[in-house]
Structure 1
Amino acid sequence: MYKIVKAEKLADKIYLMDVEAPRVARHCEPGQFVIVKIDEKGERIPLTICDYDSEAGTITIVFQSVGASTEKMTNLKAGDAFRDFTGPLGCPSEFVHEDLDSLKNKKMLFVAGGVGAAPVYPQVKWLKEHGIDADVIVGAKTKDMLILEEEMKAVSGNYYPCTDDGSYGHSGMVTTMVEELVNEGKKYDVCVAIGPMIMMKFVCLLTKKLEIPTIVSMNPIMVDGTGMCGACRLHVGDEIKFACVDGPEFDGHLVNFDEAMKRQQMYKTQEGRALLKLQEGDTHHGGCGHCGGDN
């Protein structure tokens, strides 16, 4: 069992937990993820690693309640435990293994959307620990939906919050913030974009036009997390890749986002039915004619 030592709500439907997992904490690197299970019969849930403390033996995860399993997770508190906590999985961010002197000469831009701030944070933190300041753009619908603000400010060279409704920071999408920085004369050697699929797609369309190489994390389409289910199959250029074992990070200018988003939608209906069954409990009867009730 893997004890939860801290559990808090960051924003509407977004939660943070610190979990005791010493072996994972000793071996993980930025960009990797874990798979958690609440109990023996629970669903396998892939979650990117938000932070880690090898000395304390803890891993920080951030998740959004979107289905039945993550909704159950919101009820866990400090002192509770996960049945399984497997990792680290996936490949670390490429820059972790780059020549440090060469990396210090690069100007990096990170673009995060919503919960994408969680996997962006350990990457920017790693760079900061190695003497490299990166610019960070974080977007959300409203100010209340921005997460890890103080943590991100502490590790980034420049921090640019954006809100769709203009309630805080830059008014507009993260893409308009990227354009504004470039128009001001900022030059970037590489961009890392992590967030909702549609956000990453439009960031990549922009950065391709601006000729800024861009890395994206395809963790949103993972289901099983070990390459067995095939849910995260995607085209990267002319090659077939699986986000969980070949990634989750890829060249964003080569990813077929339209195909990936179509695959992602295939799992939404089942996810919604499971959540409805959890919420309705004994009153759930399958009257929609599609979910089979309690069968």
Structure 2
Amino acid sequence: MVVRAPEIARKIRPGQFIMLRIDERGERIPLTMNECDPEAGTVTIVFQAVGATTMRLAQLKAGDALLDFAGPLGNPTELEGARRACVIGGGLGTAIAYPQAKWLHEHGCEVDVITGFRNKDLILLEDEIKACSTRQIIMTDDGSNGNKGLVTQALQQRIDEGADYDLVLAVGPVIMMKFVAATTKPYGIKTLVSMNPLMIDGTGMCGGCRVKVGDEYLHACVDGPDFDGHLVDYDDAMRRGVMYRSFEGAAREAAEGRDCNGGTDGERKGA
């Protein structure tokens, strides 16, 4: 979705996100910038319609408006100085990894991009990533694109082949980022992971997006969203990530029921 937001488009950087709200009854949700066009004054976001709010978001048409589109929030990814990088995207995380890969490419860095999807029908941004990468590797769980396996297998193979990475950046499911970090740790490769926990306001006030990094809890919205991949407590993050799954499911079912019964978006309760 391309959103006209000139002030944000002029300032937002790779890794930063926005908080949006569809209307006065809607919940706030964070979405990371996929691309921006400062001249056109637009910000592109990519999302999957899996919850009540994203289902509503997917129903909007060109010319519609959002009540809130606030940002940029969070800290830009620390990409300066990288000479040889590997950017890894898992599923929808590929949309977040793309602007980092593009920025690195535009600033003279050699970039390998490894992405992973369940099957070939879910592959995102293949042409865009090809244009900004030295090497593109696409893995699928079922091998439907002819390249079956995990992103960590591709990463290990590149390291074994002598790829001298000074930065690895991973964006995707927490379990994927956990094993990417485990792969790079024995080699001492700087590894950043982008954490996207439950978030309510995006300004550090709610405390919902706490992430345990080393011996302390930090907030993904103001201290991140990128953290040292070798210090994140992934098991804690995964436990927190499923705490409200039943509530999310109930909200999704209610939204689907409203659609079937002719209800309006404004009548729905957010996830």
Q: Which bracket does the TM-score occupy, shorter chain normalised? A: over 0.9
CA separation of 1:271/1:214 partners in 2, compared to 1, >3 Å: closer, same or farther?
Answer: same
- 1:48 shift after superposition: 0.2
Q: Which residue identity is paired with 1:112?
A: G
State the partner residue of 1:133: 110
Equivalent positions of 1:107-126 (< 5 A) are 107-126=84-103
Greater strand share, 1 or 2?
Answer: 1
Structure 1, unmatched stretches of 5+, are 1-16, 285-292
RMSD: 1.7
User: Distance between the aligned counterparts of 1:56 and 1:283, measured in 2?
Assistant: 38
- 1:213 shift after superposition: 1.9
User: Distance between the aligned counterparts of 1:221 and 1:41, measured in 2?
Assistant: 19
User: Distance between the aligned counterparts of 1:127 and 1:178, measured in 2?
Assistant: 18
State the partner residue of 2:7: 23
The percentage of aligned residue pairs carrying the same residue is 54
Q: Which residue identity is paired with 2:160?
A: N
User: Distance between the aligned counterparts of 1:190 and 1:282, measured in 2?
Assistant: 46
User: Distance between the aligned counterparts of 1:224 and 1:265, measured in 2?
Assistant: 19
Q: Which residue identity is paired with 2:72?
A: P
Q: Indicate whether 1:240 and 2:224 are aligned.
A: no
State the partner residue of 2:264: none
State the partner residue of 1:196: 173
Deviations 1:47-76 (A, max 9, x none): 000000000000000011221111111111
State the partner residue of 1:48: 32
Count of residues paired in the alignment: 262
User: Distance between the aligned counterparts of 2:137 and 2:259, measured in 1?
Assistant: 47
CA separation of 1:282/1:165 partners in 2, compared to 1, >3 Å: closer, same or farther?
Answer: closer
User: Distance between the aligned counterparts of 2:249 and 2:109, measured in 1?
Assistant: 42
What secondary structure, in the 3-state scheme, does the structure 1 residue paired with 2:47 have?
Answer: strand
User: Distance between the aligned counterparts of 2:90 and 2:247, measured in 1?
Assistant: 25
Q: Which residue identity is paired with 1:224?
A: D
State the partner residue of 1:6: none
User: Distance between the aligned counterparts of 2:201 and 2:116, measured in 1?
Assistant: 28
Equivalent positions of 1:262-281 (< 5 A) are 262-281=239-258
User: Distance between the aligned counterparts of 1:60 and 1:229, measured in 2?
Assistant: 26
Equivalent positions of 1:182-261 (< 5 A) are 182-261=159-238
- 1:185 shift after superposition: 2.1
Q: Which residue identity is paired with 1:58?
A: T
Correspondent of 2:139 among 162, 176, 180: 162
What secondary structure, in the 3-state scheme, does the structure 2 residue paired with 1:137 have?
Answer: strand
- 1:283 shift after superposition: 8.7
TM-score for the superposition, normalised by structure 1: 0.85
What secondary structure, in the 3-state scheme, does the structure 2 residue paired with 1:261 have?
Answer: helix
Higher relative contact order (CA 8 A, sep 6+): 2
Q: Work out whether residues 197 and 220 of structure 2, in 8 Å CA contact, stay in contact via their aligned partners in 1.
A: no
- 1:79 shift after superposition: 1.4
User: Distance between the aligned counterparts of 2:108 and 2:198, measured in 1?
Assistant: 33
Deviations 1:112-131 (A, max 9, x none): 10011111111111122222
- 1:220 shift after superposition: 4.0
- 1:169 shift after superposition: 4.8
Structure 2, unmatched stretches of 5+, are 262-268
State the partner residue of 2:19: 35
User: Distance between the aligned counterparts of 2:244 and 2:12, measured in 1?
Assistant: 29
